[in-house]
Every structure is written in structure tokens, then in C-alpha cells.
Amino acid sequence: MISGTVFDIRRFSIHDGPGIRTTVFLKGCSLRCWWCHNPESQRPRPELILRPERCIVCGACVETCPVGAIRANGQGYVTDRAICDDCGACVAACYADAREMVGRTMTVSEVMAEVLRDTTFYEGEGGVTFSGGEPLLQPEFLLALLQACKARDLHTALDTCGYAPPEALERVREYVDLFLYDLKLMDGERHRRFTGADNDLILRNLERLAATGSRIIVRVPVIPGLNDDPADIAAIGEYVSALPAVERLDLLPYHRMGADKYARLARPDPLPPTDPPPAAQMAELQRQLEAYGLAVKIGG
């Protein structure tokens, strides 16, 4: 039976496509965007996340850890990530839910059982969105999930950064009703600096997808100081307006949801403290892009 790694299933979502949706988040992503609000999605395997503010200093985690990765530091407990093998034993022993494993192996049937609980809410264009991470990095699992959804006449959306093998995108295309396609920067060198990879593959995949007539909404995260310069926005507007089949462009203002997660994962946050873009700036960027003949929305 086909299985994959899922790190969250979110119900009653209204920002991941049209209508009321269930969003299934698959683990693993090849990019390392500075502004990522789901850093727990990046690594493909399950991993430990800590919430030290919940710790009651009971010592159960120390006694349970089979590799001795946890030690007292006078105020609580420190987990040595170099030793920790993410086995999850300490999570099971933690009485206060201060430790959590992010990511679990699920079969297609298990995911669909969760999805089908919400079918009464999928009126109109509501349905299921597959997000991540990058769902296309689990191509067999994603394809099987999409096929299972279409067998039940569920509307499907795929939220993708586009950094995936073209053949993986082509295999799932016919089972996707709507693509939510991230576009971050047109400048390849700066794209590499802020995401860890250049954008050649992303742009080629988007162009191929648009040429098929697939329904596409391009989504642009707006990160102050990184890609909100008028020249950056103009480059995106010029590029997207030349593509066929793009239904709309969504401007997604940066938020700080990911900042605390880096600390819980014991990873440095690559983005310096950054405030969300003000509403007036977002409105100006919307007007700038609309001048290219694009339908533009602020928010997803």
C-alpha cells in the first residue's frame, strides 16, 4: 500500500484555494526560503519539535531517551540534536506535551479517511488541497492521493513551489483542478541567495504548465526588503502577464508565523526580524500589477 509522510492535516481552510477545504501538508522541500513559515516541513523525515515553556521538569524524557541525548541544565532540559535520532521515545514519555514529533507515515487510505470526514463542507469549489513542504517530492504518494480524490469527485488543488522534476508535475497534472503556484523572484541569483536554488526549473515548469491550459493562480509572497522593490514586482508582472492560463495573481504579505518554530527545531532563523508589509504598500503593489492587465488579490 502506498504511503508517505504527512506533517499536518488542516480542516476548514479558506486560504488554500476556493471554498472550504481540507489541506494535507506533505513533508519535505528542496528549497530553504528565508521567510518559510513551515520550517518543520523542510526535512523529509519526522523530527522532534520542542516547547520548553510547557516543560514541568519531571525528568521522564531523560530516563526514557535511549541514546542519552537529553540532560539537565539547571533550568530544565537540553536536547543534544547531534545525538538525538528523532526516535520519539521522549515524546511518548512527556506528560506535559512539551515534546512533539512532526511528521508521520500515513497510507493513502488513512489520509482519505480524514479527508472524507469533511465532504459535507465541500460545496461548490471546496475540496482538498495538497501543500507542504513540496508535495511533488513525494510523487507516487501525491499521485495516488489525487487519484483517490478524483474517484470521489472531490475538487483538488496543488500548492507547489515548482521546484520539482517536470515528469512529476506532468504525471499529476490531469488530476489537479487548480494549481497554486509560488513565484518568489525573477532574478535567478537573488532567488538562489534567498531560497537556496535558482529559479530556472521553477520558471520552465510554470511555462509548461501554462501551455497545457491548466487552471493556475500564481502566488507571490511579499517579503519586505527581499522582493518588494518596484523593480522586482514589475519583473513579475511582465512575466506573468505573458503567460496563458493564469487566472489570478495573489499577493501574500509576509507574517511571522515561522519565527518561533526555528527555535523549537533548534535551527537558526535565516531571516532577520522583519515586520509585515503595511496595507498601503500592499495596495500599491496590487495597483502596480493590475497595470499589466492581471487580476490581483491580496491574500490567498
CATH number, position 26: 3.20.20.70
The three three-digit cell numbers of residue 38, written as one number:
513551515
CB-based contacts of 74: which residues, under 8 Å, 6+ apart? Answer: none
Q: What is the pLDDT of residue 222?
A: 98
Give yes or no for a contact between 13 and 129, defined as CB atoms under 8 angstroms apart. Answer: yes
Determine the pLDDT at residue 190.
97
Mean pLDDT for the stretch of residues 142-158: 97
**How many structural domains are present in the chain?**
2
On the question of pLDDT at 75 being above 80, the answer is: no
CATH number at residue 65: 3.30.70.20
Encode burial over 208-228: b for 16+ CB neighbours within 10 A, e otherwise.
ebbeeebebbbbbbbbbebbb
Tell which of 56, 85, 102 closes a domain.
102
Beta-strand relationship, 99-102 and 47-50: antiparallel
Pairing of strands 127-131, 104-107: unpaired
Residue 262 clears pLDDT 80, i.e. is over it: yes
- Reported as a single tens digit per residue, the pLDDT across 5-16 is 999 999 999 889
Range(s) of the domain holding residue 241: 3-44+103-298
* Residue 163 sits in the same domain as residue 96: no
d(CA 251, CA 298): 5
Please tell me whether residues 94 and 145 are part of one structural domain: no
The answer to whether residues 157 and 271 belong to one domain is: yes
Residues 73 and 116 in one domain: no
Q: Are residues 204 and 57 in the same domain?
A: no
pLDDT on residue 88 = 94
Model confidence band, residue 109 (pLDDT cutoffs 50, 70, 90): very high
Which of the listed residues 60, 84, 102 is the one where a domain comes to its end?
102
* Closest by Cα among 34, 49, 36 to 88: 49
| 73 and 171, same domain (yes or no) | no
Percent of the chain with pLDDT over 90: 91
In this structure, are residues 249 and 296 in contact, taking their beta carbons and an 8 Å threshold?
Answer: yes
Do residues 134 and 54 both lie within one domain?
Answer: no
Most confident of 69-73, 76-80, 189-193, 244-248: 189-193
Nearest one of 15, 8, 12 to 217, comparing CA atoms: 15
Supply the pLDDT for residue 170.
97
Same domain flag for 252 and 184: yes
pLDDT digits (tens, 9 = 90+) for 25-62: 999 999 999 999 999 999 999 999 999 899 999 999 99
What confidence score (pLDDT) does residue 125 get? 83
Examine the pLDDT at 76 and tell me if it is beyond 90.
Answer: no
Q: Are residues 116 and 215 in the same domain?
A: yes
Distance CA 9, CA 286 (A): 31
Please, are residues 175 and 157 in contact by the beta-carbon 8 Å criterion? Answer: no
Last residue of a domain, one of 83, 102, 121: 102
How high is the mean pLDDT of the chain?
Answer: 95
Q: Do 54 and 163 share a domain, yes or no? A: no
Percent of the chain past pLDDT 70, that is, above it, reads 100
CA distances 96 to 47, 51, 167, 216, 300, Å, are 18, 10, 45, 44, 35
Give the model's pLDDT for residue 18: 94
pLDDT at 74: 78
Are 153 and 276 members of one domain? yes
Distance CA(88)–CA(92), nearest Å, equals 7
Average pLDDT over residues 125-136: 96
If we measure between CA atoms, which residue out of 221, 278, 214 comes closest to residue 246? 214
pLDDT at residue 106, as a whole number: 98
Sheet order of strands, 155-160 included: 104-107, 3-13, 21-26, 127-131, 155-160, 178-182, 216-222, 246-253, 296-298
Burial class (CB in 10 A: 0-12, 13-18, 19+), 266: middle
* 127, 70: one domain: no
First to last CA, the chain: 34
